[in-house]
C-alpha cells in the first residue's frame, strides 16, 4: 500500500482480463471488453497499485497525505514519440517515466504519482506492449512513484508510429525549497552530473540512418534520488534543469536569458566521452546540443558548489559530475565557451534540428 494512505484501497478486488491474440486491433480501442482486457493485461498487471486497480476514471488522493510532503504541488506533462522504441540503455517506457519524474525533481519536488496515456498503432504486438509496460513499471519502482491512472487509444495503421506515450506527473515541493531559472547570480557556479550527449548519440546510432555503430548507451535514468541527496547537502541551489532536447547548450541559454546574466563555460572541463566526441566529429554535430535523459545542469551559489559537486559524485548517477563554468555579469542571455584551444566562442540557441554536415 502506498505510504500516503490511498483512498482507493477500499475498492473490491476485480478479476483481471487477459488477451490471447498476438497483436492489437482497432477492437482494442473500442471501449468494450477487448479494451478493458488490453488495459488489464498490459498496464494494470504491470503497474500494480491500489489506485489503478479499480479502473475508475480518476485516481483520488488524500490532500492531507500530500501536504505531509511539503507546501506546494508540482505538476508536469511530457509526450514521448522516440524512434526506435527500444534503444541501447532504454526504451520508450523507461524514457516516459524518467522524463516526468525528472521534470518534477529538478523543480525541487518529490515525484509521487504519474499518469500514462498510450496511443497505439493497430498491429503492434502484445509482446511489445508488455515489454514497454514492464519497463515503465520497473523504472517507476526505481524512482519510487506509482502510475495511478491512464488512457489507451488505438489508431489506424499509419496514424501514429507504433506507440506514443504521454506521462503526467504530480509531486510535492518541501517547504523552503525555491529554485528558478531567474535566480542565477554572477559568481554562481555551473555543474553537470556527468558525461554529456550519450542519449542523443545512442538514439542517432540506433536509428541506423547513419550506418554508424557505437557502443554508447542512453543515459536515461530517474534522477530524483540523486537530486534529493544533492539538495540535502546544498539546499541553497539556485536552479536545476534536465538537459534533454537541445542539450546543455539550450539549458545554459535559458538560464542566461531568464536571469539576465552571461555564462562562461570551459570546453576542457565539459565531460564528454571519447566515443560521443568521435561520433560528433564524424557527423559534424556539437555534443553540447545532443539530448541527455539522465543529466542535469545545476546552478549553485559559490559557497555550496564544492558540496554540490561532492554530493553528485557520491551518487551512482553523478560519478563524472563536473564544474563546467560560472555565471558572470555581462550581456543578458550570452553564453560563451573557452575552447580547449584557448579561443572563445558563442554557444547560441540551436535554430532547428542539428543536421549532419556534408564534409
Partner 1 sequence: MKYLDEYRDGAKAAILVKEIETLIAGMGITADRPLHIMEVCGGHTHSIFRYGLEGMLPKQIELVHGPGCPVCVLPMGRIDDCVSIAEHPEVIFTTFGDAMRVPGSRKSLLQARADGADVRMVYSPMDALALAHANPDREVVFFGLGFETTMPSTALTILQAEADGVGNFSVFCNHITIVPTIKAILDSPDLQLDGFLGPGHVSMVIGAAPYEFIANYYGKPMVVAGFEPLDILQSIWMVVRQIKEGRAEVENQYARIVPYEGSKPALEAVSRVYELREYFEWRGLGSIDHSGVKLRDSYARFDAERKFAVPNIKIADPKACQCGEVLKGVIKPWQCKVFGTACTPETPLGALMVSSEGACAAYIQYGGGRPRVAAA
Contacting positions for partner 1 (CB under 8 A): 209-212, 264, 274, 277-278, 281, 283-284, 328, 330, 334, 336, 338-346, 348, 351-352, 355-359
Residue whose CB is less far from partner 1, 14 or 277: 277
Beta-carbon count within 10 A of 292 CB: 29
Contact 237, 298 (CB under 8 A): yes
Nearest to 348 by CA among 282, 256, 272: 256
Residue 90 grid cell: 532504454
**Least CB distance from residue 289 to partner 1, whole Å?**
11
**Least CB distance from residue 260 to partner 1, whole Å?**
16
Residue 71 grid cell: 507546501
φ and ψ of 105, to 5 deg? -65, -40
**Least CB distance from residue 356 to partner 1, whole Å?**
4
Residue 6 grid cell: 490511498
* Cα torsion through 177, 250, 353, 163, rounded to 10: -10
**Least CB distance from residue 210 to partner 1, whole Å?**
5
- Strand-strand pairing, 72-80 and 90-91: unpaired
Residue 347 grid cell: 554557444
Which residues are CB-neighbours of 326 under 8 A, at least 6 positions away?
187, 188, 189, 190, 263, 264
**Least CB distance from residue 272 to partner 1, whole Å?**
11
Distance CA 90, CA 193 (A): 19
Residue whose CB is less far from partner 1, 204 or 317: 204
Residue whose CB is less far from partner 1, 3 or 329: 329
**Least CB distance from residue 188 to partner 1, whole Å?**
16
Amino acid at each position: 500500500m502506498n505510504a500516503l494512505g490511498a483512498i482507493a484501497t477500499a475498492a473490491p478486488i476485480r478479476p483481471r482480463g487477459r488477451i490471447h491474440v498476438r497483436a492489437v486491433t482497432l477492437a482494442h480501442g473500442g471501449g468494450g471488453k477487448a479494451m478493458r482486457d488490453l488495459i488489464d493485461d498490459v498496464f494494470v498487471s504491470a503497474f500494480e497499485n491500489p489506485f489503478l486497480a479499480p479502473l475508475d476514471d480518476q485516481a483520488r488522493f488524500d490532500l492531507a497525505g500530500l501536504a505531509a510532503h511539503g507546501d506546494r504541488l508540482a505538476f508536469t506533462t511530457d509526450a514521448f514519440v522516440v524512434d526506435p522504441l527500444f534503444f541501447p540503455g532504454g526504451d520508450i517506457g523507461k524514457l516516459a517515466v524518467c522524463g516526468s519524474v525528472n521534470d518534477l525533481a529538478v523543480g525541487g519536488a518529490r515525484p509521487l504519482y504519474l499518469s500514462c496515456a498510450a496511443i497505439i498503432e493497430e498491429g503492434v504486438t502484445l509482446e511489445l506492449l508488455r515489454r514497454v509496460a514492464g519497463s515503465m513499471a520497473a523504472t517507476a519502482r526505481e524512482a519510487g512513484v506509482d502510475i495511478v491512472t491512464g488512457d489507451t487509444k488505438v489508431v489506424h495503421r499509419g496514424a501514429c508510429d507504433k506507440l506514443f506515450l504521454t506521462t503526467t506527473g504530480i509531486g510535492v515541493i518541501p517547504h523552503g525549497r525555491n529554485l528558478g531559472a531567474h535566480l542565477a547570480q554572477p559568481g554562481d557556479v555551473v555543474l553537470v552530473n556527468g558525461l554529456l550527449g550519450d542519449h542523443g548519440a545512442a538514439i542517432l546510432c540506433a536509428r541506423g540512418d547513419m550506418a554508424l555503430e557505437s557502443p554508447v548507451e542512453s543515459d536515461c535514468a530517474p534522477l530524483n534520488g540523486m537530486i534529493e541527496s544533492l539538495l540535502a547537502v546544498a539546499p541553497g541551489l539556485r536552479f536545476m534543469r534536465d538537459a534533454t532536447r537541445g542539450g546543455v547548450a539550450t539549458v545554459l541559454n535559458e538560464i542566461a536569458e531568464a536571469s539576465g546574466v552571461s555564462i562562461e563555460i570551459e570546453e576542457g572541463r565539459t565531460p564528454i566521452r571519447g566515443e560521443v566526441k568521435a561520433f560528433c566529429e564524424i557527423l559534424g554535430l556539437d555534443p553540447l546540443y545532443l539530448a541527455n535523459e539522465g543529466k542535469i545542469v545545476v546552478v549553485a551559489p559559490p559557497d555550496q558548489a564544492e558540496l554540490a559537486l561532492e554530493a553528485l559524485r557520491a551518487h551512482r548517477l553523478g560519478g563524472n559530475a563536473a564544474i563546467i563554468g560560472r555565471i558572470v555579469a555581462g550581456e543578458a542571455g550570452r553564453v560563451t565557451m573557452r575552447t580547449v584551444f584557448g579561443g572563445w566562442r558563442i554557444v547560441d540557441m540551436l535554430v532547428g534540428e542539428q543536421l549532419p554536415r556534408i564534409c
